[in-house]
Structure 1
Amino acid sequence: MQLSTSKRVEIVDITDKVSGVVRSSNIDEGMCTISTSHTTCAIIVNEHESGLVSDIMELLEKLVPSNADYYHDRVDNNADAHLRAVLLGNSETMPVRKGNIELGTWQSIFFVELDGPRKRNVDIAVSSSDFRG
Structure 2
Amino acid sequence: MRFEVETGEGTSVTDITDEVSGAVPTGRNGTVSVFVPHTTAGVVVNEAEPRLEADIARFAGGMVPDAEWHHDEIDDNARAHLASMVLGRDVTLPVMDGALDIGRYQSVLLVDCDGPRVRNVDVV
Name the structure 1 match of 2:18. 16
- CA shift, 1:51, in A, is 2.0
Which runs of structure 2 are paired with 1:1-133 in the superposition (5 Å)? 1-22=3-24, 25-65=25-65, 67-125=66-124
Q: Which entry has the higher C-alpha Rg, 1 or 2?
A: 1
- CA shift, 1:124, in A, is 0.4
Aligned length: 122
Which runs of structure 1 show a deviation greater than 3 angstroms over 4 or more consecutive aligned residues?
A: none
**Counterpart Cα distance in 2 of 1:102 and 1:18:** 12
Name the structure 2 match of 1:128. none
The residue type equivalent to 2:9 in the other structure is K
Q: Which runs of 5+ in 2 are unaligned?
A: none
- CA shift, 1:10, in A, is 0.8
User: TM-score scaled to structure 2, two decimals?
Assistant: 0.91
- CA shift, 1:6, in A, is 2.9
CA RMSD of aligned residues (A): 1.3
User: TM-score scaled to structure 1, two decimals?
Assistant: 0.85
**Counterpart Cα distance in 1 of 2:111 and 2:60:** 11
- Alpha-carbon contact 2:13-2:54 (below 8 Å) kept: no
- Larger proportion of strand: 2
**Counterpart Cα distance in 1 of 2:11 and 2:63:** 14
- Alpha-carbon contact 2:43-2:91 (below 8 Å) kept: yes
After superposition, what is the alpha-carbon deviation per residue over 1:29-74, rounded to whole angstroms, capped at 9, x for unaligned? 1111000111000000001112211222222233214x43211101
**Counterpart Cα distance in 1 of 2:27 and 2:38:** 27
Percent identical residues? 40
Name the structure 2 match of 1:130. none
